[in-house]
Amino acid sequence: MKRKVKIGSRDSVLAVKQAELVIGAIARSHPELDIELVTMKTTGDLNLSPFDEINKINKNPFGVKGLFVKELERALLEGQIDLAVHSLKDMPMKWNQPKPLLPILAFSRRGDPRDALVSPLGHANEGGIGCSSARRRVQLERLIPGCSVLPIRGNVLTRLKKLDEGNGGYSSLVLAAAGLIRLGLESRIHKVFSPDEIVPAAGQGILACQGRQGRGPWTHYKNSVEYGFLDSINDPDSEDCARCETAFVERLGGGCALPVAAYAEVCGTELRLIGFYADEVRGIYRKGRLSGDRKDAIKLGETLAERLEAEDVGTRSVKGPGSVTLVGAGPGDPGLLTLKGRSVLEEADVVVYDRLVGEDVLNYASPDAELIDAGKRGGRHPVPQNEIEKILIEKAGEGKKVVRLKGGDPFLFGRGGEEMAVLAKEGIACEAVPGVTSATAVPAYAGISVTHRDYSSSVHVVAAHKREGARIDYETLARLEGTLVFLMGASRLAEISERLTAAGMDANTPAAVIENGTTSRQRQVIDTLGSLSKRAEALAIKSPAVIVVGQVAALGEVNNYVYRPLTGKRVIVPVVTQKERGKESGRFAALLRSRGAEAIEIPVSRIEAINAPLPPLGGYSWIVFTSAAGVEKFFERLRADRRDIREIGGAKIAAIGPATRDAIESRSLKTDLVPPVYDGTALGEALCSAAEGRILLLRAEDGAPELAQILNKKGLSFDEVPVYRTIPLKAGAVEFEGIDAAAFTCASSVRYFAQLRPGARIRAACIGERTAKAAREAGYEIYMAAKATFEDLADAVEEAAKPC
């Protein structure tokens, strides 16, 4: 009995013809197979709107290519077909990834890759040139100045009929030469465009055979379908060209609706690539060439894309004024950043920040945001104010959302008024987001209320540093009955004390100076006005500091700062963010702060969804999540595919720990199992005790192997489906001066952190042995948590942060 193989295709005439070419080649090499063609309509066939309109509705960064493959991919996952045949150029660029759930298993020998100009039959029409993509339109308009390009949709025969009947006002069409030739319509070609004239779509002319990947090599997780018969189909030259071209397009974020294209050809052991990239909004048009070893096909494509991007630096055309938001970052504690300030920071393209901005606050900026340090340049010299204003005007003039991030409040001695006036003069939209000022917050953290019903009914805030030539009226200040708060006065503390007493203020008036207020490094001295400066000098109190003079300062002795186990300690917490800085829940950092630490979260990697369809969810007894990120990406994928969580039926749900459990239960699902220790080993052991039937693991692409190893050892039936991967980030703006310890919650955070800070000497608190092993390899001093829980890890941090 012959083995049955079902091959799926779109039901357009061209798609069927292409599938038949693949079927014929397979049948000739493998006559023992019984091959059946299964056709179906895709969303792209049913929606005949112009691609630009579809893309605006869907807001899909990879254009609308997925509209031609989604139904076929679902049929593959559900076992309706065993193989799908696509035009490679119709597939989303994300196929070019390691370990995809639905991999491309074979690439056909390439047909004619060029675009062709087709004229109408019988008579010449007056009108525009019809084409179906921004890629063709942009290149045609440059190749033929003054031409009119009109959008057209439909399959090849539908488009030709519109042209021949004069329907739509087309004088000619641009179509793929390979498709015309495969349909026997090469006689309709009036002219072919060389790749130098119009760079073809990535993969044009190549047919892709897509199958299923499961736990074994090229096998479905359920049906054990083997794909050895594709050996006779796959063309290595086409495969190398395809990987090179799609790497170029993906690096630039291109698709049907974005004008990006690439064409590679094989010359012996070398690939020669031509790439095209345009940004119509900014008036950018780039075309370049690069050759390299075909073994480095993907790297070659990415390198050319990066070179074209680099050409844009300093040459981008202005697209009109953007905006600037003046944001107060608060006095240092990231918890004092306002909700609106955080929201604006997360959306910023550019962040121009000052020296006094709390380091952890910057983590709320997007990983893609440009961070500009306006507090230092060339060592420790501040950037002149006029240069800061030029930066704001330049970046806003590029159409970017700019955040001017200032310590405290931008309108309390923060030059916010000056900068807003300059921006208004330039016609740049400017908004202010007030911040918590150090004038009240820092004394409060030291137990000092700057107003008090019994001692002071007014407060006067004074800038100890003023414009050159300006003077402080100490005589008037000495006569005031309220509280005096001096900002930016650490270096002038002795002068302030002397001038106030000389002006008549009692030298026994209570006074205080607080250094690094609201942070773990906070220190304070409370004394009298006459003695304060000597005591502060003996303790080397330095900037930034807030000075308080008045009866309320004595309250700091009564309401003294509460010291906790990690008070005064600075702890680095490398984290993985889901999309942007600041999106991490911060559960562990919050625990450290509750123990008194200044916990600085450093994003070392971000989460990227794997945009592949999920398998059928029915039939599983357990659904297992190993991270909150996995929960998030699983539900995003369900929504994207318009599927229903009720597919899981009565399956029970397991979570690796509290954060993952909370993510599940926030979606109104009950969590049936959380291990007492939050790692893969404990989760695997708990599942072995509780689980029966098939298990579905939804996890990271390169997740820790312990969980699967334990399930395999116990003989449990399970499938692993990756729903996200982690991508390393670039180093941020955090300084390592005065760091007491670092806390690592997983091995990957150690590796990514070590890449960002090679050679750093770190006292590392580690949550488990696998994490500790990675830390040892990085050369860190190890402090192990007794158990894999956040409480035990915080205990390890306390040990690591103790003085040597």
d(CA 556, CA 393): 44
In terms of C-beta distances under 8 Å and separation of at least 24 residues, what long-range contacts does 231-235 make, across chains too? 232/25, 232/26, 232/28, 232/29, 232/30, 233/22, 233/25, 233/26, 233/106, 233/108, 233/209, 234/105, 234/106, 234/107, 234/209, 235/107, 235/108, 235/109, 235/110
Are 706 and 684 spatial neighbours (Cβ–Cβ below 8 Å)?
yes
Are 612 and 590 spatial neighbours (Cβ–Cβ below 8 Å)?
no
Radius of gyration, CA atoms only, the chain: 32
Cβ-count burial 737-750 (b if 16+ within 10 Å, e if not) = eebbbbbbbbbbbb
Q: Is 99 annotated as catalytic?
A: no
Token digits of residue 652 = 């029970």
Q: Point out which residues pair with 357 in neighbouring strands.
A: none
Kindly give, in sequence order, each residue whose CB lies less than 8 Å from that of residue 650, ignoring residues fewer than 6 positions away: none
d(CA 143, CA 197): 7
SS3 of 129, please?
A: strand
Are 305 and 244 spatial neighbours (Cβ–Cβ below 8 Å)?
no
Q: Which of 90, 354, 360, 679 is catalytic?
A: 354
d(CA 61, CA 50): 16
d(CA 405, CA 357): 7
Written as one letter, the residue type at 511 is A
Sheet holding 149-151, edge to edge: 149-151, 128-131, 170-176, 115-118, 189-193
Give how far Cα 695 sits from Cα of 140, 276, 617, 618, 689, Å.
53, 46, 10, 11, 13
Q: Which of 376, 390, 466, 714 is catalytic?
A: 376
Closest C-alpha among 380, 4, 65, 76 to residue 229: 4
Token digits of residue 783 = 């402090």
> What does residue 607 show for φ and ψ, rounded to 5 degrees?
-90, 135
Angle between helices 706-713 and 680-690 (to 10 degrees): 30
Alpha-carbon dihedral of residues 298, 302, 304, 309, nearest 10 degrees? 170
CA quadruple 729, 732, 734, 737: dihedral sign: positive
Length reported for the chain: 804
Q: Is 527 annotated as catalytic?
A: no
d(CA 249, CA 39): 29
Alpha-carbon dihedral of residues 694, 698, 701, 702, nearest 10 degrees? -70
d(CA 36, CA 625): 38
Please give the full DSSP string across 46-103, using - where no structure is assigned: H--S-HHHHHHHHT-TTTTGGGGTHHHHHHHHTTS-SEEEEEGGGS-GGGSSSS-SS-
Please give the full DSSP string across 195-228, using - where no structure is assigned: TTTSPPPTTTT-EEEE----SSTT--TTT----G
Task: Tell me which residues are annotated as active site.
Answer: 354, 376
